[in-house]
Amino acid sequence: MKISRAAALAAACCVVLSPARAAQEPAGGSSPAALTAEQIVDRSVQVRGGLTAWHKIATIIWAGHLESERSPVPSLPFQLKEKRPGKSRFEITEPSQRSLRVVNGVGGWKMKLGQDGRPEIKKLSVEEVKYARTASGLEGPLIDFRAKGSKIELEGSEDLDGRQSYRIGITLATGDHQSVWIDAKSFLESRFDRTTYSSSGSKGVVTVRYLDYKVVEGLALPSVIEIGGAALAKPDRMVIEKVALNPPIDDREFDGLGDPRGRARVDTKAAPR
């Protein structure tokens, strides 16, 4: 089961998601043809909380569960820690399905349980590192796109699940292309397509859908994320239950294989059977 995003948190740091306020239609909204790509994105940034508020966010921890038809367990609890610049630590905490994936902004490593129930640790492949380096960061690809060196264009407007949406094309500083769909009424991001790389280096596309936005300390965040491609009969779902903004996260959680001595900070005991 491949997951591109995730979430985590100690109960004391978590904030329960509150009812959404951001998904209200802005007063005096313009028709899809009346706005430029820059105007659409700037309005979306404001609806999601504003650039100043996002600049103040250095870390996020998410917590929830994963649902996938390909998983032997119907609901997998997960944790995700994200820290600027480009650091993430994603963990599935179900004992029999435990896995860990860490990116430190340059490279990373992953861990999964072997057949004997003990952790197997590997560095991320060249393709996995390339995918991580083109990730959109903890706020998404559009917020502060100018500072990131990205260029945007309005590729058109179209119906998405019965709602009119703008399709914004993004060219990253790396040259990679991504697309984001923005709802024409709420100005919230509803879909994100980005390039993936196979072990042979060939390119593909993964589609991410953002659903059921909630407001956490003034920022609009999705509480359900669907991940999949055209070949999947049903997308994987990430249900986000708790979020913490700016909790302390030690950099050692992303270093080497988990600590300054290069050893993975994981439980080496066999998982219960």
- On the question of pLDDT at 216 being above 80, the answer is yes
What's the pLDDT tens digit per position in 145-175?
999 999 999 999 999 989 999 999 999 998 9
- Domain for residue 268, yes or no? no
73/239: higher pLDDT = 239
- Domain for residue 253, yes or no? no
- Domain for residue 265, yes or no? no
pLDDT of residue 19: 53
- Domain for residue 3, yes or no? no
- On the question of pLDDT at 68 being above 70, the answer is yes
117/200: higher pLDDT = 117
Among 36, 54, 260, CA closest to 168: 36
Block residue for tokens 């992303």: 254
Q: What average pLDDT does the segment 11-30 reach? A: 44
Question: Could you tell me the pTM of the whole model?
Answer: 0.82
pLDDT of residue 255: 78
What's the pLDDT tens digit per position in 78-104?
999 999 988 999 999 888 888 999 999
- Domain for residue 263, yes or no? no
Beta carbons within 8 Å of 215's beta carbon, 6+ residues apart: 17, 18, 19, 20, 21, 22, 221
Q: How confident is the model at residue 4 (pLDDT cuts 50, 70, 90)?
A: very low
Which CATH number characterizes residue 36's domain? 2.50.20.10
Q: How confident is the model at residue 24 (pLDDT cuts 50, 70, 90)?
A: very low
- On the question of pLDDT at 12 being above 70, the answer is no
- On the question of pLDDT at 273 being above 70, the answer is no
pLDDT of residue 245: 97
> Which of these ranges, 46-55, 60-69, 119-128, 157-166, has the smallest mean pLDDT?
119-128
The domain of 158 spans: 11-248
**Contact, 86 vs 148, CB < 8 A?**
no
- Domain for residue 2, yes or no? no
Kindly state the percentage of the chain with pLDDT values over 90.
53
What's the pLDDT tens digit per position in 236-272?
999 999 999 999 999 999 875 544 334 444 443 433 3
Most confident of 114-123, 198-207, 214-223: 214-223
| Cα(66)–Cα(6) distance, integer angstroms | 9
The total of structural domains in the chain comes to: 1
> Which of these ranges, 146-155, 175-184, 224-233, has the smallest mean pLDDT?
224-233
Among 163, 160, 170, 188, CA closest to 40: 188
pLDDT of residue 59: 96
| Cα(183)–Cα(198) distance, integer angstroms | 31
- Domain for residue 254, yes or no? no
Q: How confident is the model at residue 197 (pLDDT cuts 50, 70, 90)?
A: confident
**Which two tokens mark 169?**
């094309």
- Domain for residue 136, yes or no? yes
Q: What is the DSSP letter of 135?
A: -
